[in-house]
Amino acid sequence: MSYDLILKGGRVLDPAQGLDGVADVAFAGGKVAAIEPRIAAANGADVRDVSGRIVTPGFIDLHTHVYWGGTSLGVDATDFARRSGVTTLIDAGSAGPGNFKGFLKHVIEPSEPRILAYIHVSFAGIYAFSKRIMVGESSDMRLMSPADAVEVANANRDTIVGIKVRVGRNASGTSGIAPLDIALQVAEEVSMPLMVHIDEPPPNYEDVLARLRPGDTLTHCFRPFPNSPITGQGAIKTAVLEARKRGVLFDVGHGMGSFSFKVARAMLDAGFMPDTISSDVHSLNLEGPVFDQATTLSKFLCLGTSLTDVIRATTANAAAAIRRPELGTLRPGSAGDATIFTVGDGSFPYTDSTGERMNGNKRILIEGMALGGHWWHPAGNL
């Protein structure tokens, strides 16, 4: 068989298949074609020696903001993907039904890395988010646009993977939890999962979780007090454990103010691993404390999470959350995306959203990427 790209001699780590060992990975026609101990190069295939490196399914970042130029919080998707090793970026509600067409035409369609999106139930999405102006879009109920959200979601099912809403003192103000109830109606109507942002109360963590359905995602799940998933004594709240039992998904969504080392340690020590690890990158945290998805994943390695579990949280589990089984795996026939990296040992400074600093001993270093079955790398040195 002829191949377009062969990655030779890397440690193939694919939690979806239970794979962890040295092998070659071949791509053809934009998809994964084969994983075998040795694959012979033929017919002009692009052969890359990745020995000494780790090859995984392409990273998926479940929570990004990449409507660059269309919203004040958007970052450039291509630049972020290159530095992060991310082949699929999920935009978490930057656009609403009133401006999704612009997002689709000017950002999603021209992008080399894949961009999928949760559409916001707010007509204008997240429209006033900057260093000088911060207006919670859910605080004005006049902006809630369920009928339009349903219409746009149904018309763009190839790109839209779910519904997004933000609630909390900063995002919904005096509207409280009402925007979440509206978003749930939209999600039910279009048979899509919901992602809900939570910040400071009201509403509280427990009230939000009580409304979520199996398959819905709570992002910012390891946020600090107030509205933390742990009690003042460091125990996991009962509502959190009950929500997980019924199938609610928990996403990190690091962001500018939503990830705490203290909370993460308590949750992980109690055996509570987030389902997905995401960056929540936007214009106000790109230069810290988030930087990129690789940095976010590295923080979990330094907190004691195994490499397999970290990779599962940015590949197979992220694909399951958005119901895209063709992503997040190197199974033959799946999307031809891969991330190639090493894990550096040393002394690396990390900061959470509260300003706490941690000196970590590991860092994921991106070495290369395959996109759509072809090599894609910023330096091109492999």
User: pLDDT tens digit string along 117-127?
Assistant: 999 999 999 99
Environment class of residue 271 by beta-carbon count within 10 Å: exposed (0-12), middle (13-18) or buried (19+)?
Answer: exposed
Q: Where are the domains of the chain?
A: 59-321
Q: Residue 65, annotated ligand binder?
A: yes
Whether residue 67 is predicted with pLDDT greater than 70 in this model: the reply is: yes
312's enclosing H/E stretch is helix 307-313
Q: pLDDT band at 370, cuts 50/70/90?
A: very high
Q: Residue 299, annotated ligand binder?
A: no
Q: Residue 280, annotated ligand binder?
A: yes
Q: Residue 120, annotated ligand binder?
A: no
User: pLDDT tens digit string along 354-364?
Assistant: 999 999 999 99
Whether residue 381 is predicted with pLDDT greater than 90 in this model: the reply is: no
* Residue 42 pLDDT: 78
CA dist 176 → 5, 97, 141, 186, 207 (Å)? 51, 22, 10, 18, 11
Cis peptide, bond prior to residue 226, ω within 30 of zero: yes
Whether residue 377 is predicted with pLDDT greater than 90 in this model: the reply is: no
User: What kind of architecture, by CATH, is found in domain 59-321?
Assistant: Alpha-Beta Barrel (3.20)
Q: Residue 106, annotated ligand binder?
A: no
- Tokens standing for 158? 């190839």
